[in-house]
């Protein structure tokens, strides 16, 4: 798969994750991030979720990158992995 195709697939995965988080409509405020560490910040009255989106598998490097990023106590760090079939599985990362 070309680099352009991978970027397009990742962009679609980020958009799909944002739609999932925003269901029902307005349940989270969604902020799209630069993707260096996290792709999405989802904010509700009770929590803040920082989410990294990856394709096909969660690599050790992804976990280490998310784990070392400092966040306040009311934030959760998550990695969502989009499989080639289109579904997501999620892993919460603790410090």
pLDDT at 58 over 90: yes
Q: In what order do the strands lie in the sheet with 48-55?
A: 29-32, 40-43, 48-55, 75-82, 88-93
Q: Which domains does the chain have, with CATH numbers?
A: 3-93 (3.40.1350.10)
Helix (H) / strand (E) element for 78: namely strand 75-82
Average pLDDT of the segment spanning 64-83 = 93
* Residue-wise pLDDT tens digits, 11-53: 999 999 999 998 888 889 999 999 999 999 999 988 999 999 9
């Amino acid at each position: 798969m070309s680099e352009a195709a991978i970027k397009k697939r990742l962009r679609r995965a980020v958009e799909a994750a944002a739609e999932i988080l925003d269901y029902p409509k307005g349940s989270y405020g969604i902020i799209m991030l630069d993707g260096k560490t996290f792709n999405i910040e989802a904010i509700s009255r009770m929590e803040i979720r920082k989410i990294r989106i990856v394709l096909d598998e969660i690599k050790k490097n992804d976990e280490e990158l998310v784990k070392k990023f400092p966040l306040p106590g009311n934030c959760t760090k998550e990695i969502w992995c989009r499989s080639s079939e289109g579904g997501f599985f999620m892993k919460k990362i603790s410090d």
